[in-house]
Amino acid sequence: MAESVYKVIELIGTSTESWEKAAAAAVMQASQTLRDLRVAEVVELDMRLDEGKILSYRAKVRISFKYHGAEAWWEDTKL
């Protein structure tokens, strides 16, 4: 098996419905601009509150993707 290198980024997804949908939003957004996503790890969950009511769920997600070198990574992003 060839050796590989992976880059890890952190994103925070939000949802008014659930932490699961918040995490999925972060992964979905990453998949729009990055290729070869490998692992998504939820590292923190919290909520935005207003007068004791939940406004939104937030999930901090670490996402790893295969690193192809600085030039290749920037060429393939769709920013």
Residue 74 placed within a domain: no
Where in the sequence is the domain holding 12, given as residue range(s)?
6-69
> Tell me, what's the pLDDT at 72?
54
Q: Considering its fold, how many domains does the chain have in total? A: 1
Is the Cβ–Cβ distance between 43 and 62 less than 8 Å?
yes
* pLDDT tens figures, 32-75: 999 999 999 999 999 999 999 999 999 999 999 998 876 554 55
Q: Give pLDDT, residue 68.
A: 81
Is 12 inside any structural domain? yes
In a domain, 1, yes or no: no
> Tell me: the pLDDT tens digits for 1-28?
578 899 999 999 999 999 999 999 999 9
Task: Give the pLDDT confidence score for residue 79 in this predicted structure.
Answer: 52
With vertex at residue 45, the alpha carbon angle to CA 52 and CA 20, rounded to the nearest 5 degrees, is 100
Q: What is the CATH number of the domain that holds 24?
A: 3.30.1660.10
